[in-house]
Amino acid sequence: MIKKLLPKSRLVSMAVPLVAVFLGILIGAIVMLFSGYNPIRGYSALLSGIFSDTYYMGETIRTMTPLILSGLAVAFAFRTGLFNIGVEGQVIVGWLASVYVGIVLDLPAMIHLPVAILAGALAGALWGFIPGILKARFQVHEVIVTIMMNYIALYTANYLIRTFLLVPGERTETISPSASLASPFLQSLTDYSRLHYGFLIALAGCVLMWFLLWKTTKGFELRAVGFNTHASHYSGMNVQKNIVLSMVISGGFAGVAGSMEGLGTYGYMSILSGFTGVGFDGIAVALLGANTAIGVLLSSFLFGGLQIGALNMQSRAGVPTELVDIVIALIIFFVASSYIIRWIMNRIKKEGI
């Protein structure tokens, strides 16, 4: 029945992430076993920590929120033929911009919160514009530029906080309540976790990406440029403009991911000793989600659940949290090596196993 509803290529594309997750969990269990830990107890503690405790469920959804948006940033760029490695830097500048607006402006909540989120989106978009214009005008590869922009974002944000916004505690002041995404109602439902309204914004981001890419003329142009720049140019499309626009939109998604951290989870921004990891995790989320909106949503739940469940594994089963990092790395490896999974699936089909 499923084969009749979906084409063969779509079925294979859906199967590869599922097989990658299965192999990652399986080999992770083997690593636990050889390390002297009980994988059944470990995974049971992980699952029970996510689904049997409302606090951990709320924290999982809270962790998902920036991962969804950073995953959308990577997926959007990839769908248009670009590889945005600079999502981490765009998250940082978006975080700082939204917190700054949340501190310095005194506006009603109905205006203050949207303006603060918009500031984060614009900061991320600006950080995406620079590699976009360099790619479009001078053919400078976006991977190299975005990697360098990550470090510029990290050290520039730290300098600005240390010089202009620092208060005791190595961080900025706390944002005004009118700019906060915090939700006492959602927190009370989840045993006072840090769950906030940003999750709804992340869901809206999934719908926005799907609609923009698949239901608009501009989305068709962006995808066409990603598939073949020469054919798009000969058909009359403005290739350079679309490359820049793609990086701007991708950076905007990442900037909003930073806003979720600044306005929702923390309410301030600290001096960072290193990268947040949200942007780099977004690459893994997008890869596992096959660069689709629904795939990013589902894979962010997996990664968020693994990160939060790892804490429960350590407290209840004594399994180090680093073993969950190994599982995540294995999943990413198998997704990146999808041709191996496709080869195995073809061999199984030919031999009729």
Transcribe 172-184 into DSSP letters. -PPPPGGG--B-H
- Say which amino acid occupies 268: Y
Question: pLDDT tens digit string along 20-61?
Answer: 888 889 999 999 898 888 888 888 888 876 777 889 899 999
3-state SS assignment for residue 169: coil
- Residue 289 is classified by DSSP as T
* Residue at 269 is within a domain: yes
What are the pLDDT tens digits along the chain (353 aa)? 444 444 555 666 667 788 888 888 999 999 989 888 888 888 888 887 677 788 989 999 999 999 999 999 999 999 999 999 999 999 999 999 999 999 999 999 999 999 999 999 999 999 999 999 999 999 999 999 999 999 999 999 999 999 999 998 899 999 999 999 999 999 999 999 999 999 999 999 999 999 999 999 999 999 999 988 888 888 889 999 999 999 999 999 999 999 999 999 999 999 999 999 999 999 999 988 989 999 999 999 999 988 888 887 877 778 888 888 888 888 888 877 765 666 666 666 665 55
| Dist CA 254 CA 251 (whole Å) | 5
Backbone phi, then psi, for 182, in 5-degree steps?
-60, 145
- Residue 83 is classified by DSSP as -
> Residue 9: what pLDDT?
56
> Residue 332: what pLDDT?
81
* Residue at 332 is within a domain: no
Question: pLDDT tens digit string along 184-197?
Answer: 999 999 999 999 99
> Residue 245: what pLDDT?
97
Cβ(109)–Cβ(263) under 8 Å? Answer: no
* Residue at 95 is within a domain: yes
The domain containing residue 82 runs over which residues? 54-319
* Residue at 231 is within a domain: yes
Backbone phi, then psi, for 270, in 5-degree steps?
-95, 160
* Residue at 335 is within a domain: no
- Say which amino acid occupies 138: F
* Residue at 334 is within a domain: no
* Residue at 33 is within a domain: no
Residue 62 sits in a domain whose CATH number is 1.10.3470
| Dist CA 122 CA 252 (whole Å) | 6
| Dist CA 202 CA 110 (whole Å) | 19
The CA dihedral of 146, 94, 299, 189, to the nearest 10 degrees, is: 170
* Residue at 31 is within a domain: no
Domain count across the chain: 1
Cβ(310)–Cβ(324) under 8 Å? Answer: yes
